[in-house]
């Protein structure tokens, strides 16, 4: 655990006086979500990845799913009332969100997009996701995330 590292995610959580932990796995070279969960000694069902999509309408959506699962595009589209959605091209991620691939967090994007967490997040008091920088994960109470961003829960994984 590393308290010295401050990311935009950490600063936003601090501004709302939300308790959290930031974990540094930068020096491990881990890149896959399941591998990161193992390094953190956590159940992969509690470690989430952030995915950015675009709907047929042209609107962007954020989906937060367990690292061991895949986003079901049909279920995700249904959850946000779109006819269909697709992943955005990786080159659009940084200009759109301010985050790079592997460091994308649902908290602290350049602007807010409709956000949906997989319903399995409700099974845990605290979950992990990117702290907004490659090599760093944040652990936070699921209920506290609502103090920073608005989101819904839905069945969005395969």
Q: What is the mean pLDDT of residues 18-22?
A: 96
Is the pLDDT reported for residue 3 higher than 60? no
Q: What is the mean pLDDT of residues 19-33?
A: 89
Q: Which two tokens stand for residue 17?
A: 């006086």
pLDDT of residue 149: 96
Question: 3-class DSSP state for residue 19?
Answer: coil
Residue among 100, 90, 97 nearest 136 (CA): 100
Strand ranges for the chain from DSSP E: 20-24, 48-55, 60-66, 85-87, 114-118, 126-130, 136-141, 152-154
Is the pLDDT reported for residue 24 higher than 80? yes
Q: What is the mean pLDDT of residues 96-100?
A: 96
Q: What is the mean pLDDT of residues 129-155?
A: 96
């Amino acid at each position: 655990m590393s308290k010295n590292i401050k990311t935009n995610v950490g600063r936003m959580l601090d501004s709302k006086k939300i308790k959290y932990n930031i974990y540094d796995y930068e020096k491990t070279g881990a890149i896959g979500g399941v591998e990161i969960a193992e390094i953190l000694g956590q159940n992969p069902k509690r470690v989430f990845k952030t995915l950015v999509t675009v709907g047929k309408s042209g609107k962007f959506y954020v989906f937060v799913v367990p690292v061991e699962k895949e986003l079901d595009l049909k279920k995700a589209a249904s959850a946000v009332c779109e006819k269909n959605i697709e992943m955005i091209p990786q080159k659009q991620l940084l200009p759109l969100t301010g985050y790079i691939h592997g460091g994308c967090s649902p908290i602290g994007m350049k602007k807010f997009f409709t956000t949906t967490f997989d319903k399995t997040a409700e099974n845990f008091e605290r979950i992990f996701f990117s702290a907004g920088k490659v090599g760093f994960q944040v652990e936070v109470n699921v209920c506290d995330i609502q103090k920073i961003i608005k989101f819904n829960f839905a069945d969005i994984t395969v």
